[in-house]
Structure 1
Amino acid sequence: MYAVVVSFEIRPEAMPEFMPLMLANARQSLELEEGCQQFDVATDPLRAGEVFLYELYTDRAAFDVHLSAAHFKTFDSAVAKMIVTKDVRTFTEVTQ
């Protein structure tokens, strides 16, 4: 497994527009990308404007497919000006 966690800080006025686009991106990733196993979108009401993603892919190559997917590129372009900060971290499963 290849895990990706993303934290966004979204401009407060952009949240109503950002969230439907984010949820559509998550849904399309799961529906269209064979290697996307999980794509969770989470928020905390005490931290308005913060959006947390937890994504699982079969491997790094599957994540690369996600990054090159048309739906992701469309989403990324549409939300670019809505984002204050974005932190992406990746993790590879530890095996023995």
Structure 2
Amino acid sequence: MSRYVVMVDFRLRPGARTAFRTLVDLNARVSAHDEPGCQRFDVVELDGEADRVLLYEIYDDRAAFDAHMKTKHYFAFDAESAEMVASKVVTTGGLVCEGSA
């Protein structure tokens, strides 16, 4: 079975990036450290797009991602960042080829 990939494209309200990054970075670190089903959780800033942040997450399976969505740290991140987010698009899929060794 392939691992479960989640990509989230956040468009932030102007001026929210610093505060948002504090929250999302904590969520990423705690998820990767404390959740056994979370294999990877990257936060990406795009060149020339100050109000856009991407997440790239890999979980063992859909159940591990569903468990992530029920954690205290996820709920805190979601609630505290809600006013900073203008929009978000979530894309999911299965990891079919891993390029790293």
Q: TM-score range by the shorter chain?
A: over 0.9
CA RMSD of aligned residues (A): 1.3
- Counterpart-to-counterpart distance in 1, 2:82 and 2:45: 19
Q: Which amino acid aligns with 1:76?
A: D
Match of 2:57 in 1: 55
Segments of 4+ in structure 1 off by > 4 A?
none
Match of 1:90 in 2: 92
- Counterpart-to-counterpart distance in 2, 1:87 and 1:48: 17
Match of 2:30 in 1: 28
- Counterpart-to-counterpart distance in 1, 2:5 and 2:29: 17
Q: Could you state the TM-score of these two structures normalised by the residue count of structure 1?
A: 0.94
Task: Note the C-alpha offset of 1:45.
Answer: 3.0
Q: Which amino acid aligns with 2:60?
A: T
Match of 2:18 in 1: 16
Q: Deviations over 1:28-47 (max 9, x none)?
A: 00111000000000011311
**Could you say if the C-alpha distance between residues 94 and 16 of structure 1 is closer, same or farther in structure 2, counting changes exceeding 3 Å?**
closer
Unaligned stretches of 5+ residues in structure 1: none
Greater helix share, 1 or 2?
1
Q: Could you state the TM-score of these two structures normalised by the residue count of structure 2?
A: 0.89
- Counterpart-to-counterpart distance in 2, 1:76 and 1:85: 13
- Counterpart-to-counterpart distance in 2, 1:83 and 1:37: 25
- Counterpart-to-counterpart distance in 1, 2:84 and 2:56: 20
- In the alignment, is residue 46 of structure 1 matched against residue 48 of structure 2? yes
